[in-house]
């Protein structure tokens, strides 16, 4: 299968929570598996895997159709819709919020998160996929910087000749809807000047300066605003290719040893630590959090997903989890005060404007 290209497509959607926004229901997850198993049987996709992080359902597909393929997006849409029907029967929480009507050929903008990567499989293709819950896509900025531009994290940047030339980061300015490519190590300071603003500048993909191959891609934006109010929303996902000229698996994982502060958590309005957890601990209960990240490692072999390995199911991440719990206590003691509570600008998707509206006429001019 040397030169045939494989597409890895991952999709995330919240089709209803058990209990509240904490988890999903086994029947919903099983239904997704059955649907995708049948599509695999018919040859529509090469392989699939279904995961869950918090109340988000995660579908992982491999196929030969390339990115943004109508048939694949239709399959995923139908799968999510049938999962939502089960969630509706069980009256799972907020089942109606995750998907917007109506499908017209592509899932982007309809609620689900979408991250797709088409590549020619190397002789061995290790890939690590991350799913987070109760946060937004800006959460990947810091780890992506550390993985692909920080030699204190990634030893290979200085010791692997194939990585010496560094990586190019594509950064999306979500306020002005424009993007820029910045090359590291040369433009590292410019990259950091932007990527530190995690609510505005989002690193969306990373590619090798030598050869231009894509090494990492994140899922598309988190919220769709309908009539000024939040519509469907999705949680962020990230695909990273590893080894042989890309960062080693362990260098990718190392970037999550610091449970860095991210936006999201309770009501999408608080800063809190991103806690790396095994699959079975991806249940954000304390103050609807703290935000979680899970990681699934696969070898992609002739289009098949060999795995997953539950990457954070490792005692070497116990300290990160402990730190996250300490930071959780510390941040929570700030209650409604910034910087635990996000700035008004970052809270624009919440109902705070309605609350402020109630007192707007009581302000006296100074």
Residues 6 or more apart whose Cβ sits within 8 Å of residue 337: none
Quick one: 94 or 100, whose CB is closer to ligand F6R?
Answer: 94
Q: For Mg ion, which residue of 21, 25, 35, 208 counts as binding (CB under 5 A)?
A: 21
Q: For ligand F6R, which residue of 51, 215, 234, 266 counts as binding (CB under 6 A)?
A: 266
Quick one: 87 or 249, whose CB is closer to ligand F6R?
Answer: 87
* Separation of alpha carbons 333 and 339, rounded Å: 11
Strands 56-63 and 5-13: antiparallel
Print the binding letters for residues 286-315 with ligand F6R: x by CB under 6 A, - otherwise. Answer: --x---------------------------
Residue 261 backbone class (left: φ over 0; alpha: ψ -120 to 50; beta: rest): beta
* Separation of alpha carbons 29 and 84, rounded Å: 11
Binding partner selected for residue 20 from Mg ion, ligand F6R, none, CB under the kind-specific 5 to 8 Å limit:
ligand F6R
What would the two tokens of residue 202 be? 């989002």
Quick one: 21 or 73, whose CB is closer to ligand F6R?
Answer: 21
Alpha helix positions (H), 196-291:
249-254
Binding partner selected for residue 252 from Mg ion, ligand F6R, none, CB under the kind-specific 5 to 8 Å limit:
none
Task: Say whether residue 199 binds ligand F6R (CB under 6 A).
Answer: no
Binding partner selected for residue 268 from Mg ion, ligand F6R, none, CB under the kind-specific 5 to 8 Å limit:
ligand F6R
**Residues within window 16-55 making contact with ligand F6R, judged by CB under 6 A:** 20-21
Quick one: 62 or 221, whose CB is closer to ligand F6R?
Answer: 221
Residues 6 or more apart whose Cβ sits within 8 Å of residue 313: 278, 279
141-149 and 188-195 helices cross at what angle (nearest 10)? 170
**Cβ–Cβ under 8 Å, residues 15 and 57:** yes
Q: For ligand F6R, which residue of 29, 94, 192, 258 counts as binding (CB under 6 A)?
A: 94
Q: Is the peptide bond before 339 cis (omega within 30 degrees of 0)?
A: yes
Which region, judged by CB under 5 A, interacts with Mg ion, from 6-14, 171-179, 180-188, 308-316?
6-14
Which region, judged by CB under 6 A, interacts with ligand F6R, from 177-185, 243-251, 260-268, 352-360?
260-268
Minimum CB separation of residue 236 from Mg ion in Å reads: 13
* Separation of alpha carbons 73 and 319, rounded Å: 39
Task: Say whether residue 56 binds ligand F6R (CB under 6 A).
Answer: no
| Residue tagged 């069980």 (tokens) | 90
Minimum CB separation of residue 245 from Mg ion in Å reads: 38
Task: Say whether residue 113 binds ligand F6R (CB under 6 A).
Answer: no
Of all helices (H) and strands (E), which one includes residue 41?
helix 26-41
What would the two tokens of residue 305 be? 């997903």
Minimum CB separation of residue 336 from ligand F6R in Å reads: 14
> What is the C-alpha end-to-end distance of the chain, expressed in Å?
73
Quick one: 49 or 134, whose CB is closer to ligand F6R?
Answer: 134
**Residues within window 132-191 making contact with ligand F6R, judged by CB under 6 A:** 134
Binding site for Mg ion (CB under 5 A): 14, 21, 55
């Amino acid at each position: 299968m040397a030169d045939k290209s494989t597409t890895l497509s991952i999709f995330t959607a919240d089709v209803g929570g058990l209990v509240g926004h904490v988890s999903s229901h086994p029947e919903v997850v099983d239904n997704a598996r059955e649907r995708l198993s049948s599509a695999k049987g018919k040859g529509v996709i090469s392989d699939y895997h279904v995961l869950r992080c918090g109340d988000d359902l995660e579908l992982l597909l491999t196929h030969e159709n390339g990115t943004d393929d109508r048939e694949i997006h239709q399959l995923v849409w139908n799968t999510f819709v049938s999962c939502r029907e089960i969630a509706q029967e069980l009256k799972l929480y907020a089942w109606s919020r995750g998907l917007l009507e109506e499908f017209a050929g592509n899932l982007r903008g309809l609620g689900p998160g979408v991250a797709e990567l088409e590549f020619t499989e190397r002789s061995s293709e290790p890939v690590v996929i991350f799913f987070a819950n109760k946060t937004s896509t800006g959460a990947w900025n810091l780890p992506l910087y550390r993985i692909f531009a920080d030699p204190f994290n990634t030893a290979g940047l200085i010791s692997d000749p194939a990585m010496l030339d560094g990586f190019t980061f594509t950064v999306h300015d979500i306020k002005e809807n424009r993007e820029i490519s910045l090359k590291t190590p040369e433009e590292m300071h410019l990259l950091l000047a932007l990527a530190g603003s995690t609510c505005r500048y989002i690193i969306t993909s990373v590619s090798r300066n030598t050869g231009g191959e894509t090494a990492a891609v994140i899922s598309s934006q988190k919220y769709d605003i309908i009539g000024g109010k939040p519509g469907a929303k999705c949680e962020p996902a990230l695909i990273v290719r590893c080894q042989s000229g890309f960062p080693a698996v362990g260098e990718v994982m190392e970037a999550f040893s610091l449970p860095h502060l991210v936006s999201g958590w309770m009501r999408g309005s608080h800063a809190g630590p991103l806690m790396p957890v095994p699959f079975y601990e991806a249940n954000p209960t304390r103050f609807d959090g703290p935000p979680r990240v899970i990681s699934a490692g696969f070898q992609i072999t002739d289009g098949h997903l060999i795995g997953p390995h539950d990457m954070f199911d490792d005692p070497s991440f116990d300290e990160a989890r402990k730190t996250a719990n300490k930071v959780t206590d510390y941040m929570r003691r700030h209650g409604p005060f910034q910087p635990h509570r996000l700035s008004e600008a970052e809270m624009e998707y919440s109902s705070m404007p309605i609350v402020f509206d109630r007192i707007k006429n009581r302000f006296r001019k100074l």
